Structure 1
Amino acid sequence: MFEISLHMTGLLALAAFVAGLVDAIAGGGGLITVPALLLAGADPVTALATNKLQGSFGSGTATLAYARAGHVRLRDQAGMGLVALIGGAAGAMVAHLIPAAALRIIMPLILVGIAAFFALKPGLSDADRVQRMAPELFTATVVPLIAGYDGFFGPGTGSFFMLAIVMLAGFGVLKATAHTKLLNFASNIGSLAVFAVGGAIWWKVGLAMAVAQTAGAALGAKLAMRVGAGLIKPLLVVTSAGMALRLIWQAWQG
């Protein structure tokens, strides 16, 4: 049997489907699944750990979908993915050392900034733009920083990767989305390995959510590739703003 009731597991699977769809397009799926797991009775560590389990399936499905369509070449990005994996694992290992109270104050402000950037920045499209940072430097600095954040906190990781890839690597929105999913998948796997050793995962519930997350991610990737920046840009604004409001609410309640 599942760790919780069958009815609650079904609701979590529905939440995972919606999260997978949204996350494949714009990131921010954890905004849906982490609160859902907390409402289902999971403690914070279990919620984060179980979310990493089901989220890994969603980001992995989206990565493969984008790769098959030619928007990302997995072999060329293997080194960057490995750095993200290590960064995610390191972030999860030092999670208990990070002052969560400080992050709860800082993160909403950053997410509001991301939402404003994508809402107001003219010319965001699927076309590539000027590269401001060499790939090697991007891999050595930006990737481990964001992946480490994903390991110890998480909300907004996809948006941070998206913003960095668009602004620094010079990719168009659709290509940046494809690469974001690859890096997010790698950091998920790294942090998931650490959480698994700690034994904090609801495995049965997480796998049930993973099936739904996979279906949602496959649909979301198809929609993103069909519509492109016209769909990705507004969803980035909505999800970033939504995550900011959620974090502000949590800080206020605390």
Structure 2
Amino acid sequence: MRCIKIELSSHIFLILIMVAFIAGFISSIAGAGGAIVLPILLWVGLPPLNALATNKFQSVFGTLSSTINFLGKGYIDFRAILPALCYAFVGSVLGTYFVQQISTEYLSQLMPYLLILLALYMLVSPTLSDKDLPEKLTDNTFAPLIGGGIGVYGGFFGPGMGSFFAIAFASLRGFNMRKATAYTKPLVLTVNTTSMVVFLWGGYIVWSLAITMAIAQVIGARLGSNLVIDRGTALIKPVIVLVTLAIAFKLLYQQ
């Protein structure tokens, strides 16, 4: 296991801490905190694998904070999503293993295109509803298809994963926005924790940055999880799209 040290100026360090706080707040509402943090980590010069690993570490604690908050208020029944959690765990292991098999040069070339796809998804993704809708998939189908499939994506790349899960719960299981957002949190937590452990073993986490960003994530996620309202996604989505596209085109320009 390697130990990675990357030097960053003090003002860049403070900016990243602020970004983590904002991402924790936003992620607890709209499920897209990674879409903010990962592009910024790439922007300041972290290599792709180190950016992915550090993003996973700090996001775990933000998601844990909002999960505990939702659980304490009675919005989550773990027994109802246990199969999906198991499939998400397996998918995350596979995705994280696969991304480490890709060369850093190839991953650097691939990253801007993944960011562009993420921005396009965020641009066209539907807004969740406050009302329950008819169920389209049973849990037996939903768990391997969505839990496992998004788990692979989360282990390999990750940003937007919370939005994918929330929209899947809303459109396929018929959950209202608050319930879909709450049930998303333990799945994202499972995927990111599993991926984080695999990255940890590989030695890709930038510890000084990851720990301080994690603290900021916890505070932001605690505040944001108390403000799960319809207007959150409407306000946040345009900012995420613009930032993600800006970083993607910057990376393309550098290539």
TM-score range, shorter chain: 0.7 to 0.9
Equivalent residues in 2 for 1:222-233, closer than 5 Å: 222-224=226-228, 228=229, 230-233=230-233
Q: In structure 1, what is the Cα distance between the partners aligned to 2:188 and 2:68?
A: 13
1:113 shift after superposition:
4.5
Q: Which of 58, 81, 84 is the equivalent residue of 1:80? A: 84
- How far residue 117 of structure 1 moved from its aligned partner, in angstroms, is 4.0
Q: Identity rate of aligned residues, in percent?
A: 33
Tell me the TM-score normalized by structure 1: 0.85
TM-score by length of 2: 0.84
1:15 alignment partner, one of 19, 23, 47: 19
**1:51 alignment counterpart:** 55
TM superposition shift of 1:114: 4.6
Give the whole-Å Cα distance in 2 for the aligned partners of 1:108 and 1:39.
Answer: 15
Distance 2:195 2:101 in 1: 15
Q: Is contact 2:21-2:219 (8 Å) kept?
A: yes
Q: 1:125 aligns with which of 129, 132, 149?
A: 129
Aligned-partner Cα distance in 2 for 1:141–1:111: 23
Paired residue for 2:176? 172
Within a 5 Å distance, the mapping from 1:1-254 to structure 2 comes to 4=7, 5-96=9-100, 104-105=112-113, 108-109=116-117, 111-118=119-126, 124-224=128-228, 228=229, 230-235=230-235, 237-238=237-238, 241-242=241-242, 245-246=245-246, 248-250=248-250, 252-253=252-253, 254=255
Deviation at 1:52, TM superposition (A): 0.5
CA pair 176-243 structure 1, distance change in 2 beyond 3 A: farther
| Alpha-carbon distance in structure 2 between the residues aligned to 1:67 and 1:214 | 15
Could you tell me whether the CA contact under 8 Å between 2:38 and 2:159 is conserved in 1? no
Pairwise CA distance, 1:75: 3.7
Which shows bigger deviation, 131-140 or 234-243?
234-243
Q: Which runs of 4+ in 1 moved over 6 A?
A: none
Matched AA of 1:115: L
CA distance in 2, matches of 1:142, 1:12: 31
Q: Which amino acid aligns with 1:170?
A: G
Q: Which amino acid aligns with 1:159?
A: S
Change (3 A) 1:185 1:13: same
For residue 244 of structure 1, report the CA deviation from its aligned partner: 5.5
Partners of 1:240 and 1:131 lie apart in 2 by 30
Q: What 5-or-longer segments of structure 2 have no aligned partner? A: none
Distance 1:117 1:10 in 2: 32
- C-alpha distance after superposition, 1:15-68 (max 9, x if no partner): 110110011110221232223323444221111101100000011111111111
Counterpart CA distance in 2 for 1:127 and 1:48 is 35
Q: Write the distance in 1 (CA, Å) between the matches of 2:250 and 2:148.
A: 27
CA root-mean-square deviation: 2.6
Query: Does the CA-based 8 Å contact 2:112-2:249 persist in structure 1?
Result: no
More displaced, 14-23 or 75-84? 75-84
Bigger shift: 166-175 or 8-17? 8-17
Amino acid at match of 1:33: V
Cα drift, residue 7 of structure 1: 4.3
Report the Cα distance in structure 2 between the residues aligned to 1:219 and 1:194, rounded to whole angstroms: 29
